[in-house]
Amino acid sequence: MVPADRLDRDIYLVLEDFGVRAGCAWRETDEQDTDRDTIIRDLLSGQYTYPVRIVVFNAIEGHARDATSEIADAVAEADAANTPALQAFVEANATRPVAVQLPHPLSVVSSGPCI
């Protein structure tokens, strides 16, 4: 039997898309790696290649909810969505506007001195 105090916390799990052949599955995760900060850190470090959905639950309090937008917002705030898949996850799920960096010209041709 698991002591209740270990379960009396929010536990985050990630549903990941493994492609057409394998489909989606909830990632196997060590118990100590299911907190919010660890999930965000693992997303940013590339531990999850194609995250689809993130849920949070607390078995003792008896609640569960979709945390996908909450986590996508946190990743967007970190401004570190460095893979195309993570960028797509943030763009599809963030509730706050995602800053878009527009390309800038590398150099500007000047016809004369600046005034």
Nearest to 81 by CA among 113, 114, 112, 40: 40
In tens, the pLDDT along 21-47 reads 999 999 999 989 999 999 999 999 989
Q: What pLDDT does residue 108 have?
A: 46
Residue pair 98/90 in contact (Cβ under 8 Å)? The answer is yes
**Does 80 have pLDDT greater than 50?**
yes
Indicate the SS3 state at residue 15.
strand
- Cβ atoms of 51 and 16 within 8 Å: the answer is yes
- Rounded Cα distance between 45 and 64, Å, is 26
Domain range summary for the chain, segments of one domain joined by +: 4-93
Q: Taking 70 as the threshold, does the pLDDT of residue 2 lie above it?
A: no
3-class secondary structure, 4: helix
**pLDDT-based confidence at residue 55 (cuts at 50, 70, 90):** very high
Is the pLDDT reported for residue 64 higher than 50? yes
